[in-house]
């Protein structure tokens, strides 16, 4: 039976996205946003006009961040591009709406002194492993959730990670992670879903577990802040930005720059080195 709050065409779009090998998280979020648009505007996304979309986005100016608005607009853009591909719609209203530019964010790694404080906090052994994978391999929450024993090559001392775009890349193993891996299962998921041992934990569960531990330790930030610390520390240790890009597994070095923060002391030293009177070079 037809439900007035059912998004027309959503099921077909879901199948198409899976065929494109998009992640379940991405697909689920895109469909959720479409459903939210329908519920709040009472306009079928299939038939929505530019003015409907603009009014919906503007109606959330007070409760959505610029980043959230940009993300949701990009979801709608993907939806209308698909409708054009399958000849369900001739026009694309997002051309008139445009997609808000995602604001540049200053990297927010945890402080160096917070690392030992976090690791000294009482926690489950599995939580400690999650934190170490973020700090010493720079793994994202969804990558941590999918870690398996088979991903570790202890002979070659590398960890194979399937990151964004399902690309498989290797990360050199830190000695501490080699020791951790030798004590963890050699096969199967390291972080199983409770009650479903054949499935891995959800990425949100990883974020929540690590986040709660950080708050209990009095450390500000999120699970992703640990990856920011990894990147910033690599750069601060004198590694080339290109090397950091490879270790973060970024396609673009611009993305890497968004993860790394120049330490405050370096910035202060740079300013202190400015002089209004510069010596002449010898002839």
Give this prediction's pTM: 0.65
Catalytic residue among 89, 142, 200, 227: 227
Task: Find the angle CA(136)-CA(137)-CA(143) to the nearest 5 degrees.
Answer: 135
**Active-site annotation holder among 30, 80, 89, 140:** 140
User: Judging by DSSP bridges, how do beta strands 158-162 and 152-153 pair with one another?
Assistant: antiparallel
Is 230 in the active site? no
Full set of structural domains in the chain with CATH = 10-97 (1.10.150.130), 114-265 (1.10.443.10)
User: Cα dist. 175→28, 113, 172, 183 in Å?
Assistant: 37, 21, 9, 13
Q: Which of 72, 228, 259, 261 is catalytic?
A: 259
Rounded to whole angstroms, what are the CA distances from 162 to 64, 174, 211? 31, 18, 23
Which is the catalytic residue, given 108, 148, 202, 224?
A: 224
224 is catalytic: yes
Give the sign of the dihedral formed by CA 108, CA 111, CA 116, CA 122: negative
The residue annotated as part of the active site, out of 60, 164, 174, 202, is: 164
Q: Per-residue confidence of the chain (283 residues) as pLDDT tens digits?
A: 334 468 999 999 999 999 988 878 789 999 999 999 999 999 999 999 999 999 999 999 888 877 788 889 999 999 999 999 999 999 999 999 887 776 555 567 888 899 999 999 999 999 999 999 999 999 989 899 999 999 999 999 999 998 666 678 888 999 999 999 999 999 999 998 887 778 888 888 899 999 999 999 999 988 989 998 988 888 888 888 888 888 888 877 776 776 665 656 666 666 566 656 655 545 4
């Amino acid at each position: 039976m037809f439900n007035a709050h059912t998004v027309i065409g959503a099921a077909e779009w879901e199948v198409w996205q899976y065929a494109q090998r998009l992640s379940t998280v991405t697909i689920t979020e895109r469909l959720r946003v479409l459903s939210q648009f329908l519920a709040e505007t009472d306009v079928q996304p299939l038939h929505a006009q530019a003015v409907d979309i603009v009014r919906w986005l503007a109606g959330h100016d007070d409760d959505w961040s610029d980043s959230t608005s940009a993300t949701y607009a990009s979801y709608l853009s993907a939806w209308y591009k698909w409708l054009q591909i399958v000849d369900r719609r001739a026009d694309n209203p997002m051309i008139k709406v445009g997609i808000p530019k995602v604001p540049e964010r200053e990297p927010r790694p945890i402080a160096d002194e917070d690392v030992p404080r976090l690791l000294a906090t009482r926690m489950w052994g599995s939580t400690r492993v999650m934190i170490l994978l973020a700090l010493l391999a720079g793994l994202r929450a969804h990558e941590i959730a999918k870690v398996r024993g088979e991903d570790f090559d202890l002979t070659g001392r590398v960890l194979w990670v399937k990151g964004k775009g399902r690309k498989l890349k290797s990360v050199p193993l830190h000695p501490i992670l080699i020791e951790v891996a030798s004590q963890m299962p050699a096969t199967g998921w390291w972080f199983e879903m409770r009650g479903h041992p054949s499935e891995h934990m959800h990425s949100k569960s990883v974020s929540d577990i690590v986040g709660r531990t950080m708050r209990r330790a009095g450390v500000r930030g999120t699970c992703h802040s640990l990856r920011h610390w990894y990147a910033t520390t690599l750069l601060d240790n004198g590694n080339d930005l290109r090397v950091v890009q490879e270790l973060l597994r970024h396609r673009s070095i611009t993305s890497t720059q968004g993860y790394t923060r120049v330490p405050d002391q370096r910035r202060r030293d740079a300013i202190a080195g400015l002089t209004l009177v510069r010596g002449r070079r010898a002839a």
